[in-house]
Every structure is written in structure tokens, then in C-alpha cells.
Amino acid sequence: MSGQVVFGAVSTRETLNVVQADLFPFAEELHVNLSAYFTIILQHSRVSDSDKKFLRNGVQWLNEEASAMYEKLYTKLTLNERQSVLKNIAQESWGESWIETVLTYTMEAILSDKIYGVNQQEQAHKWLAFDMGLPRPTKALL
Amino acid sequence: MKYDVCIVGSGAGGSPIAYELSNAGYNVVVLEKGKNYTESDFSKDELAVSRREKFTPLLKDEKHIIYDREKDGSVKRYDGAEYSWSFWNGSMVGGSSNLMSGYFHRMKPDDFRLLSTYGKIEGANVVDWAISYEELEPYYEKVERVVGVSGVVAKHKFAQARSTPTFPFPALEVNVVTEWFDASCKELGFESIQTPRAVLPKSALGRNGCSYSNFCGSYGCATGAKGSARAALLQKCSAKIITEAFVYRLESDSSKITKVHYYDKDLKSQTIEAKIFVLSAQAIESSRLLLNSKNKFFPQGMANSSGEVGKNLIFSAGGSGQGRFEFENLSQKQQEGLMQPGLFFNRSLQDWYDYEEDSKRYKGGTIDFLFEHANVISRATREFYNEDGEIIWGEELKQKIHKSLTTSRVLTFEVFNDWLPTDECFVSIEEQSKDKFGVSVGAINLSGHPQDLEVGRYLAKKAVKVLEEMGAKDVSMSISASPPPNLVAGGCRFGDDAKKSVLDKNCKVHDLENLYVTDASFMPTGGSVPYTWTIYANSFRVADVIKKCLARS
């Protein structure tokens, strides 16, 4: 079965927004715009096409797993159901890698310099008592 | 116009030539593939520098093909772009010396005579160097003065002879945890060495002193304190630097290079003529350029009548390890000292540079100790797994990141020992794969010698003992045959026999009258220290040779 056909209407970003919140809900308390950061990543000149494709394919595969378990798209599940889906895919090689990838970009977002526009308050730096290196960047690399 | 000297590559191998020859009044041009950056461009932006690798080419544009030899002798092919396997370091004026940590150790006299001292090793192409430590020593000293090396000269059983009693610049400030390290070494009977650094502690040589930014290695230096080829040499001379110039072919007659061909930033082909040419494009790329420059006089590749170009590629063998210091085992004062940012660690061990085991004498190596890199995103991503090796998320991950990053600090170590040269580790050309310029890419054929791992493990176990004695938790080590892309040498080894080497003792190619190779390609063995100081020193030595040559002409 082709995930592309069944879930062709699924928005990668919409699903990623929910997954991010499920994987690291603390990001919301830090006032980080994770959705905007994933938009940056999916368009970034220095993120490889294969890495972007893996992010998108992971959304499709996640929804296939959600459908197999609950016959619904991931975004239509309850929090507990979504956590079950994540625990299931974490047992698969691709799923573990995909969760790690989403978490990695989440850490990039919450610990990015505010020049990237998604982390204006830089609260995670305070949370981790981390002094940013000087000099700070004056231009984002996109 | 015809230049006196044309240098391909502006890193540690090319810049001393540019500095010496232009300051001597010669007309020098440097062709650099990357862009020029100044101190003001070197922010500590982890996303740009460490995660998006701002200073290296995109692999989809420029890649290598890697052939990795497995233990069973089988060889697996990797497309560098597909596997995100990069051997690029710093494509910019000054090369990767901009991004080095600047842990500066001299090679030792026995490193120059490995074959004579330790004998033949089965499966390895070990030879003595064409020069001795004594011949290079004045140039090591010159690097101390001109590039700037700071530290305290350590007296220990493997300390090499010096022509001066001290370093010209005093040691950088260090973290109080070095006192724990020194005490533990004393307890174990090890000799703690203060690591010399190519970093100026105070303003000198027309450069600012270190700002203790906490982000040294992997980052460009915003003060100019780090002795990069750019800050220390190219900014102090009048050599003309042409940036975004990719040299794709050397042209020759039967005895001389006549011109180099390069693509400019608009991908237009240009040429440069000069009396003398110097190749210093980094070990892999220098071999690639020579092999890609076949002509009727040199059908196997430029300077390759011996068939030795690309052969005996080496890296620095060894690996790394770490231990964690946790607040719960420390007093308040110790906790504060541990977490003090910016201050260096700067401690090394060389007690086993030469050692015996099971009645056999081995060439050992160096262990450098340093705090885990300050990159906070990288540190957070290392917390994604629990003790059972399962990936975690949510509140569990949040707690783990917070605890690890705010109530502990990791001290790491790096082991440097010889990567023995073998027939199976070499550079060749992948004719079918082209880069964005339409030029065949380099193929890196990888293979490690079993002794590399044996020695690495021996040294790492000593480092583990120190960490355990210091009271570190979660102590671990990892020694592997994976090649560090930033510590690569060989491919154009120098020697007296033109049939078995590419370069003569002065790093001039045997086959041609006016071509020198001065990056790490010349090294037939690598010693058991990071290469940069030796590359600088050798390049200053060759600069003197070229000066005499030009004076005669």
C-alpha cells in the first residue's frame, strides 16, 4: 500500500507540529516556534534532500502505523493513543531514527540563536544556565 | 603576468611559503578554493558552524567516494553525498587551521626514524623520514615565534631537545580541575604535561589575545589569538590571494609546470603562470589534482612516474574517551570551579610515547585531555537514550537533559598514535563521479593496520585510569579504525629514492624542476601528535629552499 496515496492529503507540517509537542512538550513553555523552525529545515540550503525526504517519509510511515493501530490519522488520535504509536515505531529502526531526527531539530530550535527567529526569548539557555558564545551571529545561515 | 610563486591552497602548508616569499620581495599569488573571512565573521553560531557546516562544501556539489575495507578483506563502496560522509575541513582562506583547537606538540626524534628504531612491521610500509628532527627543530622554534605558541616547556622522559628554553608566550589560563588531574597523575606515577597551544594568551604579534570564549575548536577565532594560517601569516604579508578559485589541472612540459588552470567564482576557466608552483590543497585533494593532471609527459598523473602519488595515505589513529564529574560527589566550591566556562584544560600525557609490552617494543603516542565541547545542542542530543539504550522523550528527556547539563561536566580525552601506512590505504580517482566543476572526484581507499588499534587501546586504558582516579563516573573509551577527516596526511611521501617516493627531501617533486608539495602529503609516517605544527615547520623549511632557488635564478 502506498502511503503517498492514502495519506497524500496529510500535511507534513501539521503532523510534525503534533509530534514535536508529543515528544518535547516543554518547548511550548519555552515559547519556541517549532513549526517555523521545521519550515526552515525543510527549505534549508544546507540540509540534504535525503534528510528532508526522510522527515517527510517519516510522517507518512507514522500515519500508516497510526492507521494500522487505530484506523485514524496520527493527528486525530488522543494523547495516549499518540504515545502508543510513538512507542511502537520506536521499536522499529526507521522509527527510532525518525524520532531522534525530530528531537534533534527540536533541540536545534530551542537552543538556537534568536537571529533564526524562532527562539526570541532564548529561555532554554537560561533553563540550562548556558552562556552563549561570543560574538553572537548577526546573520542567519539559511 | 608571470608570478615568482603560485601556491595552490592557503592552509598551514601553503601560507608559510606565501609569508616568507612575499616578505622577501617575491611576487606571490595564492589560489584558494574557499572564501575569505575575517575575525568579524567568526561568530559562535553552533547551528551555522557545527550543524550546517558553513565552512565546508555541500556534499551534493563536491564529494568523495569512499572504499572501506572490512576485517574480512571485503570492500564496501560509499558515496560520500549519499552517506553524508565528509572529508572536507575548512574551505576558506587559511584552511582548516582556522578551525583547529591548536593543541601543538612537536614530533619526537624517533618519529623521524620509525623504521630504524622499531624495525619492519608486517603489512605496513614504514620508512624513515628524509630529514631528522634536528633539521626541523629550528623551524618548530620559528613557528613558536611567528605563529605563536604558548605554554610551559615540560620536563618529562620523552621531552625532545629544544634550541630555546621556553615558549615565547606564557600559558593560557586553565580550569581548577587541572589540579585534580595533576594530583591524580602524581598518585598514579604519570607525568602530567601542560599542553602547548597555538593560541596567544595576551595581545602580541599584531593580534589580540584570547577572549576565553569557551568555543575554540571547530570555530574561527574572533580575536585572532588562534594561530591560524590566515591570522598569523596571510594577514601579515602582501601575497595576492584569489578566492573561490578551484584549481582543476596542472599543465607541464617534460620538466616544468608551465601553468595552473582554475575555475573562478563564475565557473570561468582561468590560468596562472609562475616560475615555481607549490601545491598545498590538503593531502587528499593534492593527490587528486596530480592524478587528474595526466598529460603526454606524465600519463599516470603529474609527478607520478613512480606510481606513488596517492599511496600511503595516513590519518591519526587512536580514538577518544570520557568521564563525567557529578555535583553530588563535589563540594560547592568544587562545583563552581568545575562549571567555570571558558578556561582551558590543557593537559596531556606522553608517558607511553614508547613502551614495551610482552617483551615487544612499541611506538605509543599522546593523550590530550579537554573538556567536552561547549556546543549545547550537541550536548543535549547526547541525552536522547536511557541507560538501557532506549530512546526517550517527553518529561523523562527534559529531566535528563537538565540534570546532565547543569549538575555535571564531562572531561574527554583524545588519543593520537601512528596510523601505519599500508598498500590498502590510498587516494585514487573515481573517473565516473564528477563534482560541480565536472572534474572527477577523489576516491579514498581506507584500511587500518591492526597495530593501530592495539596501541590506541593501550593508551586509552591509561587515560581511563586517570579519569577513574579523579573520581569521574560513566568512564568510557572508544578506539576504532574510523579515520578522522581533519587529521589526514601522506599520499605524496618524500624520500631519497625517486622510485619509491614522490618528493625529494625538500618536498620538490622528483619528476619536475619547479613543483613543490607542502601540505601534509609529504609525511611518510605521521608521528603520534596532531600534524599542524609539523606542517607549518616543514613549510617554513621549504620556503627557505625556494628562496635560495629563486635567488639563484
The CATH number given to whatever domain includes residue B37 is 3.50.50.60
* Distance from the B51 Cα atom to the nearest Cα atom in chain A, whole angstroms: 9
Helix axes A93-110, A12-23, angle to 10 degrees: 80
| Beta partners for residue B408, in sequence order | B326
Residue B118 is assigned to a structural domain of this protein: yes
What is the per-residue pLDDT for A7? Answer: 52
Residue A134 burial (CB count, 10 A): 13
- Closest alpha carbon to B242 in B29, B25, B5, B19: B29
Q: How far is CA B464 from CA B29, B344, B366, B382, in A?
A: 48, 20, 14, 20
Set of cell numbers at residue B276: 615555481
Instruction: Look at the pTM and tell me if it is higher than 0.95.
Output: yes
Identify the closest residue of chain B to A24 by CA–CA distance. Answer: B394
Average pLDDT over residues A62-88: 97
Within 8 A of B214 by CB-CB distance, chain A residues are 131, 133
Residue A33, pLDDT > 60, answer yes
Which residues constitute the domain of residue B505? Answer: 2-69+86-158+174-196+222-552
Cross-chain residue pair B42–A135, CB shorter than 8 Å: yes
What is the per-residue pLDDT for A1? Answer: 36
Residue B215 is assigned to a structural domain of this protein: no
Identify the closest residue of chain A to B83 by CA–CA distance. Answer: A50
Residue A87 is assigned to a structural domain of this protein: yes
- Residue type present at position B58: L
Cross-chain residue pair A100–B213, CB shorter than 8 Å: no
Contact in structure between B510 and B502 (CB atoms under 8 Å): yes
Query: Residue A8 — pLDDT band, cuts 50, 70, 90?
Result: low
Instruction: Give the residues of chain B that fall short of pLDDT 50.
Output: none
* Distance from the A125 Cα atom to the nearest Cα atom in chain B, whole angstroms: 9
A93 and chain B in contact, CB less than 8 A:
no
Which residues constitute the domain of residue A47? Answer: 10-127
Residue B202 is assigned to a structural domain of this protein: no
Residue A6, pLDDT > 90, answer no
Residue B211 is assigned to a structural domain of this protein: no
Q: How far is CA B541 from CA A61, B21, B42, B141, B534, in A?
A: 60, 12, 31, 11, 10
A41 and chain B in contact, CB less than 8 A:
no
Residue A142 is assigned to a structural domain of this protein: no
Distance in angstroms between the alpha carbons of the first and the last residue of chain A: 36
Residue B168 is assigned to a structural domain of this protein: no
What is the per-residue pLDDT for A9? Answer: 61
B391 and chain A in contact, CB less than 8 A:
yes
Q: How many domains does chain A have?
A: 1
Q: How many domains does chain B have?
A: 1
- Closest alpha carbon to B279 in B553, B499, B33, B549: B33
